[in-house]
Amino acid sequence: MIWQFDIIILIFMVLAAIIALRVKDLLGATLVFGIYSFLICLLWAEMGAVDVAFTEAAVGAGVSTVIMIATVFSTARRSRD
Partner 1 sequence: MEFLAAGFIEENIVPKFNYWVYVILMMIGLFAMITKNNLIKKLIGMAIFQTAIILFYVSIGVKAESGIPILGHEQHHEIVEEGRASSEVIKKEKFANPLPHVLMLTAIVVGVSTLGLALAISQRIYGSFNTLEEDEILDQLRPGGHD
Partner 2 sequence: MKLFGFIAVIIVGALLLAATGDFPAWGDAGSPASQGQVSSFYIEQTINETKVPNMVTAVLADFRGYDTMFETVVIFIAGIGIIAVLRTFGDQASKAPDGPEADNDSGDLIVRTTCHMVVPLIQLFALYVIAHGHHSPGGGFQGGVMLGASYILFALACGLPAAKRRMGERRAIIIAAAGIIIYAGWGVACLLLGGNFLDYTSLDPILPGDEQMARSHSMLVVEIGVAFTVTAIMFAIYSNLSTRGRLEKGL
Residues that bind partner 1 (CB under 8 A): 1, 3, 6-7, 10, 13-14, 17-18, 20-21, 26, 29-30, 33, 36-37, 40, 43-44, 47-52, 55-56, 59-60, 63-64, 67-68, 70-72, 74-76, 79-81
Which residue among 11, 18, 70, 79 contacts partner 2 (CB under 8 A)? 70
Contact indicator for 13, 40 with CB cutoff of 8 Å: yes
- Give how far Cα 34 sits from Cα of 2, 4, 20, 38, 70, Å: 24, 23, 9, 6, 14
Contact indicator for 36, 13 with CB cutoff of 8 Å: yes
Residue 55 interacting with partner 2 (CB under 8 A): yes
